[in-house]
A and B are shown apart, each in its own frame.
Chain A
């Protein structure tokens, strides 16, 4: 099982779009994929038209039950996405209370990791969508992953958010005694704007080894796909945005093979 976490402490950089599009493409390539929503705003969950407030089980139960939760219970929490081989573990608003409830109890940042281990035979890929806030949920999502995907909007304020994200990862590496592999993904790239060009240039200068060489372009099809509650690869498979994500996925998977 491959576990990727899509994270950035800055909001609006394309985390959910990246999660859904990569998940959809992987499912289309024949892999069993689980998308986990760890954001109390439940953007990923709502993307697929799931009203998690009406569900009995969600990712919240994973945290409440902790180690006690069984594989069967986790599988019962899953929702279909409408696309074959693509499932969703939905988020609820109640997740927002977890930081207060869990405090900084020992090992509480590893709950998701342990839960995912229980379903390791059921999926080929798990992709976690993070909230844009550093807290127990983000820590859990990052701690669980083998690879961190950091979408960075190609605009002026993006680098500061990236810097904080990398610092968080750095601190977590020390705490967890684990080396995170990460890939920075330039998103919302618009070659007509100075901001995109300059930010991309800066990204390559500062983090060249970790930056995916391509870019995810601005594409209205992403918004249209979310309105249709479909992965972009289903809604508009020939769009330039989906083409870019397909290229990214090939790159990420070639790295998986080489690992």
Chain B
């Protein structure tokens, strides 16, 4: 590929975007993505639904203890900004066998494990590093006119088309106003395992080693399998990304059933 860029690359991009992007084409491009994105939206919405009541549950005393405990375990503070395009692909051993319904068989259920915490508009979410597809710097997005407002667009990375979700808009649509939007500074994309789906995030908080006891694990594998559990001290959702990908592959109808609120 090219060895050097245009001095006025921004101008060139703007020019080419204007010439090459039109509504019809955007819709055609978006169709397969949109079909997949709907389930993602619902999943993220559920994360929010679950997190809100959980936030109020523990006493201040318990929270303070939990914070202290977590601080003691922080092993790799993630310093932003991160300059490389892919900063954390496969930080831990990947699970070799296909994902199974039984949560206990996950790699991160075998003992202490690492999770990446990231922040979107003040909301914190965690992903086990074994199920993190990678982290990209937010790059040029091709916005698609006429598509749902939460779909930020498509980003091409090494010839791959990544579908980027406006995480804040999904998670807290009721709070998503102009002020929030103006204050949002998406910098990174959290890729979901090997899929093309990425969640936009503002800050990479840190990576923390968690013990099995730090998480209130989801015990009912048939329900909301995308939620591995709740991290007690932070009261945030721990995503089971491989299960989430598996749900995508099962299609929308089965996803709807499985996502029904308990």
Contacts and interface: CB of A to CB of B under 8 A. Distances in A.
The DSSP consensus for interface residues of chain A is: helix
Interface in A96-117: 104-110
Contact size class for B? Answer: 20 to 34
Contacts, number: 77
Output the residue of B20, B23, B156 with the most chain A CB within 10 A: B20
Contacts of B18: 104-106, 108
Interface stretch (A52-60, A168-176, A212-220): A168-176
A83 to B, nearest CB: 33
Contacts of A143: 19-20
B81 interface: no
Interface residues of A, number: 27
B21 A172 contact: no
A136 B19 contact: yes
B156 A173 contact: yes
Contact of A109 (B6, B16, B159): B16
Given A139-B19, A175-B16, A177-B161, A107 B4 contact: no
Interface string A197-209: 0000000001000
B140 interface: yes
Contacts of A170: 1-2
Contact of A110 (B6, B25, B161): B25
A171 B18 CA distance: 12
B159 A107 contact: no
Nearest to B153: A177
A176 B20 contact: yes
Output the residue of B14, B29, B142, B156 with the most chain A CB within 10 A: B156
A194 interface: no
A172 B1 CA distance: 13
Interface in B1-41: 1-6, 9, 12-25, 29
Nearest to A167: B2
